[in-house]
Amino acid sequence: MLDEAIAKIREVFSGSPFEGKLYLVGGLIRDRLLGVPPEQDIDLVCLCDALEAARWLRDTGVADHSPVVYPRFGTAMVTVLGVQVELATARRESYAPGSRKPERVEPATLEEDVLRRDFTVNTLVEDLFTGERLDLTGRALPDLEARLIRTPLEPRETFNDDPLRMLRAVRFAARLDFEIEQDTWSAIRECAARLEIVSRERIRDELTRTLMLAPGRASRGLGLMLESGLLRQFAPELAEMAGVQQNVFHLYDVWTHTLKAIESLPEQSCLDERLAMLLHDVGKPRTRSVDASGGVHFYGHQQVGAEMARDLLQRLKFPNQTVTRVTRLVERHMRIGEYSDEWSDSAVRRLIRDLGDDLDSLFTIAEADRAACNPEYHYLDPARVRVRIRQVQEEADYARVQSPLDGVEIMRIAGLRPGPDVGRLKDYLVNEILEGRLAEGDRQAAERLLREKLEREHGRQRS
């Protein structure tokens, strides 16, 4: 769809006042030269008024909607055939010290415009109409060949103006398997504290994009965040994991183990699973203890880690749904590993019930966690647990088992008003199903069991 959108834009601008004044720029050209799938968006730099060009797309019926315009910055956004298109008037910018938003934006030449961009490999431009490709800095093509991330201008100036570019440098290096040029890397380390002026939402988005790379590349990106000092600026609790030694069941410190676990995730793993893998051991540094024989323990690290994960995700403005689910995955990440072949069927039913819709994600996390541990020790193979769960699930879908009696019926039988006792009795009936003493949906047996329980409780109260 990307090529079709470009062809449609070229067609509608041909013969118009904008012909010869529009250039493709940035990642699209870079990725095509590298032979990697380009991101599905189009950036156009305009030697004309970009807002007028966007309106032309609207007026000719090519744009899917009216343009979203940012007059102060000379930019406009539309979509064409479902592809996002950003049009920007060629410009130069100046920044106030405490903000990454330009305080002054002025029209400029094409050469001046590419110099304000983040990295040389993103400065290539291509005439929309003739296809002529220009390397106006003279360094974009050599740096692509050398696989280097470098800023067009002096890197400290670039990062002081917009500190988010430091996280972008890390992400591009990881995504493209490039190295960061030495002076650029030194500048990132020196300017890391400038990240404080960047909004938490922008940092969250860069972290997300890095985490969603291929697992091995995501691991490298996170490693670069730590080495550069960037990670400590927005997630000091993650940086705390580096160097924290573990017990004999592990080959690596907590941070390296985490990166190895991320590398072991399947390519199709979702963001919630990747965040949970990143945070699954975040509680270990704060729960580490050593016993008299020198054994290292992390008692309760999953509960402590869940609270720390919640705080970090809320601080980075992740959606509430993501915060809730990732926190739950962190808190439960050891449940599958606690399984024993000696467990009864009812214990397996209870595990299925407790883990519910998180079961598959927790298997994904358990398998990656195990792969990052010391192979000399024989850990439970999660595949064994899967087999046992499948056997038990043939009886019923225990993840979704419900009490045969609802709250209204329980209140009628027990003579209760709404309150916690209603939930307690409903849980009792669910537990009877898990224990195999009550068939799912058997309302008559459920009422009998409930009345017997109430009688026992009343008898204890009388005695």
User: 102 or 297, which is more confident?
Assistant: 297
User: 341 or 135, which is more confident?
Assistant: 135
Q: What is the pLDDT of residues 3-20, one digit of tens each?
A: 899 988 999 889 899 888
Strand positions, DSSP E, 114-256: 125-127, 133-134, 148-149, 179-180
Q: Which two tokens stand for residue 177?
A: 């398997």
Q: Which residues, 6+ apart, have CB-to-CB distance to 155 below 8 Å? A: 183, 184, 186, 187, 188
Cα distance between residue 93 and residue 101, in whole Å: 9
User: What number is the average pLDDT over the span 403-431?
Assistant: 81
Cα distance between residue 308 and residue 321, in whole Å: 16
Residue 447: pLDDT band (50, 70, 90) is: confident
Q: Which two tokens stand for residue 209?
A: 């994009």
Q: Which two tokens stand for residue 230?
A: 């960037």
Length of the chain: 463
Q: For residue 213, give the nearest of 172, 241, 178, 179 by alpha carbon.
A: 172
Cα distance between residue 397 and residue 394, in whole Å: 8
Q: Which helix (H) or strand (E) holds 143?
A: helix 140-146
CATH superfamily of 1-146: Beta Polymerase, domain 2 (3.30.460.10)
User: What number is the average pLDDT over the span 299-327?
Assistant: 97
pTM of the model: 0.82
According to DSSP, the β-strands at 83-89 and 68-70 are unpaired
| Topology agreement, domain 1-146 and domain 147-234 | no
Cα distance between residue 120 and residue 309, in whole Å: 36
DSSP secondary-structure letter at 118?
Answer: S
Q: Reply yes or no on domain 147-234 having CATH 3.20.20.70.
A: no
According to DSSP, the β-strands at 22-25 and 75-80 are unpaired
User: Is residue 455 classed as helix, strand or coil in its secondary structure?
Assistant: helix
Sequence ranges of the domains in the chain: 1-146, 147-234, 270-400, 407-462
Q: Which long-range contacts (CB under 8 A, 24 or more apart) does 17-22 make?
A: 17/48, 18/46, 18/48, 18/53, 18/56, 19/129, 20/127, 20/129, 21/46, 21/47, 21/48, 22/46, 22/47, 22/48, 22/53, 22/127, 22/128, 22/129
Q: What is the pLDDT of residue 101?
A: 62
